[in-house]
Amino acid sequence: MTVKANAAILFADIAGSMRLYQGLGDERASVVVARCIHTMSDMVRASAGTVVRVVGDEVLATFPHADAAADAAIAIQAAISNMPPELGRPLGIRVGMHFGEILQDGPELYGDAVNVAARMVGQAKAGEILLTGSTAATLKGQAADMARTLGPIDIKGHTEAIEICEIVWKSEEATMMFRAPSASAMERRPVMPRVAFEHAGGRTVMTDHRSTLTFGREQRNDVVIMGAKVSRQHAFVECRNGRVVLVDQSANGTYVVPHGGTGFHLHRDSVVLTGAGRIGLGEEPQDNALVTIRYETAAETADAGALGPTDT
């Protein structure tokens, strides 16, 4: 039976889990991932939440209100950060939250609120807790004082941008965020690249407020691409220190063919995109193929509008 309710939806996943499997081997990595999942599930239940499902390295949970979800998110981050590092790095968790109306049929959740929460975790980096501005506005507990606004982002299916916020759960970061950057520090800030991606007649442009894009078969991806060799969460593109980085996380890999250059096969690895070219998910890019994405990069300047309008 399908049940309609208002709830806080929380996604939490392990950042860089693929690196763990590659570096530690399947057996050891499975133990590390299982320990993280167990810890995250315990933190959810301790905050009156319900673990809806666990898929791979990700936990999906619901809570009666946003404060409970925020408490669980902070507890998850604190607990995982205290675990022993692996491969010379501390383990990192990405958390995304949103409060809204959901439809639940057994273990399955449906509705726009679930998609928005998924987009929050897709935007988060290791150690971050991201949530929508509307959800942050409902917070009344300790997390309300830890929330800061990051700005609006575009979300598929929404005609208007949605405000995104971060819960700064580390005390030293909470202090630092109130310090204004010096003029010299601002001058050293990397220029945000402007990147346009075209697929199946649609066009998406990455900007300051849209600095990560995901590609794959699942509907929650920013660009949904269907194909026999396309993974559910095939690849993503993000901006790192002023560079555009394509990261493959698929079973069949990603093909990149720069204009005027030699194409190559990327498999569970990353590459910096420059200039223009074509990307093929799971197979080599071909003209008019459904798995082919065209890309074009340019510095964010006053005349960068030549790249064209943004699709939302």
**pLDDT tens digits, one per residue of 10-64:** 999 998 888 888 888 888 889 999 999 999 999 999 999 999 999 888 999 999 9
Confidence at residue 184, expressed as pLDDT on a 0 to 100 scale: 42
User: Does 165 lie in the same domain as 210?
Assistant: no
Residue ranges making up the domain that contains 25: 2-176
CA 76/CA 188 separation, integer angstroms: 34
Please give the single-letter amino acid code of residue 221.
N
3-state percent helix, strand, coil for the chain, nearest multiple of 5: 25, 40, 35
- Mean pLDDT in the chain? 83
Residue 241: the pLDDT is 66
In this prediction, residue 299 has a pLDDT band, given cuts at 50, 70 and 90, of very low
Domain membership of residue 220 (yes or no) is: yes
**Residue 74 confidence (pLDDT):** 95
Residues 91 and 141 in one domain: yes
User: Given CA atoms 202, 247, 36, 210 in this order, what sign does their dihedral have?
Assistant: negative
Phi and psi, residue 52, nearest 5°: -80, -45
Q: Do residues 9 and 153 both lie within one domain?
A: yes
One domain for residues 265 and 303: yes
Same domain, yes or no, for 138 and 235? Answer: no
Per-residue confidence (pLDDT) for residue 212, from 0 to 100: 78
CB 245 within 8 A of CB 188: no
Is pLDDT above 60 for 179? Answer: no
Do 53 and 158 belong to one domain? yes
Q: What is the average per-residue pLDDT within 226-252?
A: 85
C-alpha torsion 211→108→4→99, nearest 10? -30
**Pair type for strands 276-281 and 264-266:** unpaired
Question: For residues 54 and 59, what is the distance between their CA atoms, to the nearest angstrom?
Answer: 5
In a domain, 152, yes or no: yes
> Domain check: are 120 and 220 in the same one?
no
Instruction: Pick 233 or 74 by higher pLDDT.
Output: 74
Alpha carbon distances (Å) from 157 to 80, 123, 280: 33, 17, 25
Look up the CATH number of the domain holding residue 249: 2.60.200.20
Flag whether pLDDT at 208 surpasses 90. Answer: no
The mean per-residue pLDDT over the stretch 170-194 comes to: 47
Non-local (6+) Cβ contacts of 44 within 8 A are 10, 50, 51, 59, 61, 63, 72, 76
CA dist., res. 282 & res. 198, Å (int) = 17
Percent of the chain with pLDDT over 90: 42
In this prediction the pTM is 0.57
Residue where a domain stops, chosen among 126, 143, 176: 176
Does residue 176 carry a pLDDT above 60? no
Q: Would the pLDDT of 183 be above 60? A: no
Count up the domains in the chain and report the number: 2
Q: Give me the sign of the Cα torsion angle 190, 308, 223, 60.
A: positive
The CATH number of residue 85's host domain is: 3.30.70.1230
Backbone angles phi, psi at 267, to 5 degrees: -130, 110
Query: What pLDDT score does 185 carry?
Result: 37
Position 182 in a domain: no
Amino acid, res. 11 = F
Q: What is the pLDDT of residue 108?
A: 81
